[in-house]
């Protein structure tokens, strides 16, 4: 009888669900520097397995695994008192692509990767430059 490979250490363990990814994202938002926490809290956070077909089409993306997050809204730097919002600004996180990237990279923790995606997407809300992002998210160093 041939030797069989031992089971993988994660065999029988379920992948983190939508709620787990959301909890990591909320922790990342809570860890933002104090001046940014309240404005970031005004942005809705949504976690789905994948971006919708309409989102992917709008971004001209064919492979849904290529999109880990998306900011949907008007950056604060472009809003004025006459701005009429069509709905709340939203940061979308896409669980399956995030998990795929996490496994493929193998060199970062899941919380770190989720925080990176959250900071990148919330940066669009604030109208931050790459230097602004680097001051908050050391991933860029």
Q: What is the pLDDT of residues 127-138, one digit of tens each?
A: 887 777 777 776
For residue 58, name the pLDDT band (cuts at 50, 70, 90).
very high
CATH of residue 101 = 3.30.2010.20
The owner of tokens 């989720």 is 114
The count of structural domains within the chain is 1
The reply to whether 9 falls in a domain is: no
The whole-number pLDDT of residue 68 equals 97
Residue 35 lies in a domain: yes
Position with higher pLDDT, 3 vs 22: 22
Q: What angle do CA 32, 38, 43 make, to 5 degrees?
A: 90
Q: For residues 121 and 1, give the distance between their C-alpha atoms in angstroms, rounded to a whole number.
A: 53
Residue 10 belongs to some domain of the structure: no
Task: Say yes or no to pLDDT of 97 above 50.
Answer: yes
pLDDT in tens, 70-80: 999 877 777 76
Decide if 4 is inside a domain.
no
Q: Which structure tokens are listed for 74?
A: 């008007």
pLDDT value of residue 46: 97
- Residue 91 domain-assigned (yes or no): yes
CA quadruple 30, 69, 108, 137: dihedral, nearest 10:
-50
Domain for residue 43, yes or no? yes
pLDDT given at position 2: 55
44-48/69-72 β-pairing: unpaired
User: For residue 122, what are the domain limits?
Assistant: 18-76+87-140
Q: H or E element: which one contains 70?
A: strand 69-72
Minimal CA–CA distance to 51: which of 71, 30, 31? 71
Lowest model confidence (mean pLDDT) among 34-38, 56-60, 62-66: 34-38
Q: The dihedral of CA 77, 78, 84, 89: what is its sign?
A: negative
For residue 11, being part of any structural domain is answered with no
Q: Is residue 7 part of a domain?
A: no
């Amino acid at each position: 009888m041939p030797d069989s490979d031992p089971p993988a250490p994660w065999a029988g363990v379920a992948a983190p669900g939508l709620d787990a990814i959301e909890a990591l994202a909320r922790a990342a938002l809570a860890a933002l520097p104090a001046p940014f926490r309240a404005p970031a809290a005004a942005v809705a956070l949504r976690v789905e397995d994948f971006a919708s077909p309409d989102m992917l089409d709008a971004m001209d993306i064919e492979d849904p695994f290529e999109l880990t997050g998306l900011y949907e809204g008007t950056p604060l730097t472009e809003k004025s008192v006459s701005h009429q919002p069509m709905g709340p600004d939203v940061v979308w996180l896409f669980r399956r692509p995030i998990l795929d990237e996490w496994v493929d990279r193998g060199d970062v923790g899941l919380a770190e990767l989720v925080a990176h995606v959250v900071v990148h997407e919330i940066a669009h809300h604030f109208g931050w430059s790459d230097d602004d992002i680097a001051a908050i998210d050391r991933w860029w160093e």
